[in-house]
């Protein structure tokens, strides 16, 4: 379980992938509904894979072994766009669309990094203004749950 340090307003958590990490409280992302398949975990932080990489890890603060590889969807589709419904807009309390950041979960098969795919059908949408996020399912047939990376 993460430890909050009120003096410095930072959160410390022991992870299986990164060891102990400490992040400012204001970087914590709350997903009220969790991720698809993981509804009981609500607090996450973004950890960059390595400097200069477009890939990040959405690391759970409640489950040390739970982390999702994510990237901006524009890496897979430069024309990617989403339209949020009223329920998502209300859940995320969107006031300014400029504060919205969109990520997609990627799958990297072990030993086959060239076979990477992204779930463009269910992006992670984060309101940077209040750090609330949700994984939403798009009703758009042109997006796939296993979109291959362009060559």
Which one is predicted more confidently, 61 or 2? Answer: 61
Mean pLDDT of 116-143: 96
Domain of residue 69, residue span: 3-148
Please say if the pLDDT value at position 1 is more than 90.
no
Which one is predicted more confidently, 19 or 124? Answer: 124
pLDDT band at 101 (very low <50, low <70, confident <90, very high): very high
Task: Determine the pLDDT at residue 61.
Answer: 94
Please say if the pLDDT value at position 2 is more than 80.
no
Task: Determine the pLDDT at residue 129.
Answer: 94
pLDDT tens readout for residues 23-79: 999 999 999 999 999 999 999 999 998 899 999 999 999 999 999 999 999 999 999
Mean pLDDT of the chain: 91
Please say if the pLDDT value at position 111 is more than 70.
yes
pLDDT band at 3 (very low <50, low <70, confident <90, very high): low
Any idea what the CATH number is for the domain that residue 122 is in? 2.30.290.10
Alpha carbons within 13 angstroms on the beta-carbon side of residue 47 total 20
Strands (E), the chain: 3-5, 10-15, 19-24, 29-30, 43-48, 56-60, 67-71, 100-107, 117-118, 124-127, 132-135, 147-148
Q: Which among 123, 122, 132 has a CA at the least distance from the CA of 94?
A: 132
Please say if the pLDDT value at position 11 is more than 70.
yes
Ranking 55-59, 91-95, 101-105 by mean pLDDT, the lowest is 91-95
Please say if the pLDDT value at position 4 is more than 80.
no
**The total number of structural domains that make up the chain:** 1
């Amino acid at each position: 379980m993460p430890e909050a340090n009120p003096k410095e307003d930072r959160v410390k958590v022991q992870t299986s992938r990164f060891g102990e990490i400490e992040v400012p409280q204001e970087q914590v992302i709350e997903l009220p509904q969790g991720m698809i398949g993981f509804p009981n975990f609500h607090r996450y932080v973004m950890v960059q894979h390595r400097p200069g990489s477009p890939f990040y890890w959405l690391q759970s603060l409640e489950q040390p072994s739970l982390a999702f590889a994510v990237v901006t969807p524009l890496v897979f589709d430069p024309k990617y766009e989403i339209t949020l419904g009223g329920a998502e807009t209300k859940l995320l309390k969107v006031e300014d669309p400029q504060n919205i950041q969109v990520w997609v979960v990627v799958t990297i098969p072990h030993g086959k990094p060239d076979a990477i795919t992204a779930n463009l059908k269910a992006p992670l949408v984060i309101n940077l203004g209040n750090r609330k996020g949700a994984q939403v399912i798009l009703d758009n047939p042109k997006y796939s749950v296993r979109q291959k990376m362009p060559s």
